[in-house]
Structure 1
Amino acid sequence: MRTRHRRFAAAAALTAAASLALVGCGTDTSTDAPATNPTTTAGSSPAAQAQNLSPEETEAADPTAGPADSAPKSETPDAAAGRAELVVSEIRMGDYQGEDRVVFELDGRGVPSYSVDYVDAPAQQGSGFPVEVQGDSFLQVMIGGQILPTETGMEEVPVGTVTGDEATGVAGVAFAGQFEGQAQAVIGLEGTDRAFSAFLLQNPTRLVVDIER
């Protein structure tokens, strides 16, 4: 009887040890995996209403008489003009003699460079995140000579989308901020690529983009 009791005790001890080993080797079901932070895409917030064109802007013609076609447009100021320090302070849009006109007003000093061109899939410079704006075709606007508002105290237009009732062919304009001295905006248009022109106005400094309907 004593021998049998010892065998049962030994068997129980082995069973307990095996159970502990299985628990120690079990799969970890912890859910403490690091969370993925969501990304913010430029233009993803609800659209705001853009300011209307100023009285001068409803009449001012392109002083350069540049061509109105769908080819890229760009301009670089003379080096003698010095370094520009600008921020995009306001975006306006409206009707100009049957065309859609978008105006980017700039605060600060100097003359900006700019380039305007059609792109298939607008992406935010630097991050590569998509720039979300309504439309069938997309006109990307890059404005040089930018400086961070925190360095000057000037106020920059917030990242986001604006729309305007009088610019009937423009679905929206998304401002994507600035990166390495370049401000970026995307004009979303109804329909296919259309002819456009781009030029600067002074006092105050403005980049004007006229788009045929």
Structure 2
Amino acid sequence: MRTTAGRVGTTTGVALTLLLSACAGGSGAPGETATPTAAPSSAEPAPSATTSDSPSPAASASEGTEPTAGLGAFTPPGTEATTEGDASGYVVTQVRTGEHDGYDRVVYELAGGEGTPGYRVGYVDRAVEDPSDEVRQVDGDAILQVWIIGTTYPSEGGPQEFSQDLRPTGGDIAHVVRPLTFEAMTQSFIGVDDGPRPYRVLVLADPVRVVVDVQDD
């Protein structure tokens, strides 16, 4: 008798379990499979950017990524964008270019310093290197001169300065002349096709970057 009662109890338990399972799964439409919802994870705030009107660095951004929307107006070609910042000791360690919807971009990445870099950016008739007064030949129809303020010479064992010219393929940036540092400022030139064109300057943080966007067609 004990054996029979045990079997009856087991059968009843299985039936009850199946019934409860059927009730729990009956809330969706026929043929749907319930998908568990993961708990929301905390996300980093979207990085903001500063234009020539404000020298403060933006919120943190991952290395090699820069914001592409909500960046403010472009500066007319005949106007110089400038801010002094409060930086010292930076070295331009990397320069890269990219194409985006409505503009092309040059990124100057800095390391080893502190504070917020300043900049002076504007179009010039000739690419005259300081302090040698050597005139550089720059590809493109217009020359955008970039000064980054608050930099220093590279030191042995420290961050090293980017030392190459860039000639991107595609887009309206034809040439970026390698950075050259003198008296706490770093100079570079951007050759622009079909220019001069409106531009804007951003200062970003983590890592520190000075970004120049050139408006395209």
Give the counterpart letter for 1:76 in structure 2.
E
Give the counterpart letter for 1:195 in structure 2.
P
Q: Which of 173, 190, 195 lines up with 2:193 in the alignment?
A: 190
Contact 2:92 2:179 in 1 (8 A): no
Give the counterpart letter for 1:138 in structure 2.
I
Q: Which runs of 4+ in 1 moved over 6 A?
A: none
Contact 1:87 1:146 in 2 (8 A): yes
Q: Residue 57 of structure 1 aligns with which residue? A: 66
- TM-score (norm. length: structure 2): 0.64
Q: Which of 95, 98, 106 lines up with 1:91 in the alignment?
A: 95
Aligned residue pairs total 152
Q: Residue 9 of structure 1 aligns with which residue? A: none
Measure how far apart 1:66 and its partner are.
Answer: 4.6
Q: Residue 209 of structure 1 aligns with which residue? A: 212
Measure how far apart 1:55 and its partner are.
Answer: 6.2
Q: Residue 149 of structure 2 aligns with which residue? A: 144
C-alpha separation between the residues in 2 aligned to 1:86 and 1:61? 27
Cα separation, partners in 2 of 1:157 and 1:114, compared to 1, 3 Å: same
Give the counterpart letter for 2:173 in structure 1.
V
* Aligned alpha-carbon RMSD (Å): 1.9
Measure how far apart 1:60 and its partner are.
Answer: 5.5
Q: Which of 179, 183, 197 lines up with 2:182 in the alignment?
A: 179
Measure how far apart 1:89 and its partner are.
Answer: 0.5
- TM-score (norm. length: structure 1): 0.66
Contact 1:58 1:96 in 2 (8 A): no
Q: Where does structure 1 lack aligned partners over 5 or more consecutive residues?
A: 1-53
Cα separation, partners in 2 of 1:61 and 1:209, compared to 1, 3 Å: farther
Per-residue displacement from partner, 1:35-76 (whole Å, max 9, x unpaired)?
Answer: xxxxxxxxxxxxxxxxxxx763263542xx354321211112
In the alignment, structure 1 residue 129 sits paired with structure 2 residue 137:
no
In the alignment, structure 1 residue 69 sits paired with structure 2 residue 69:
no
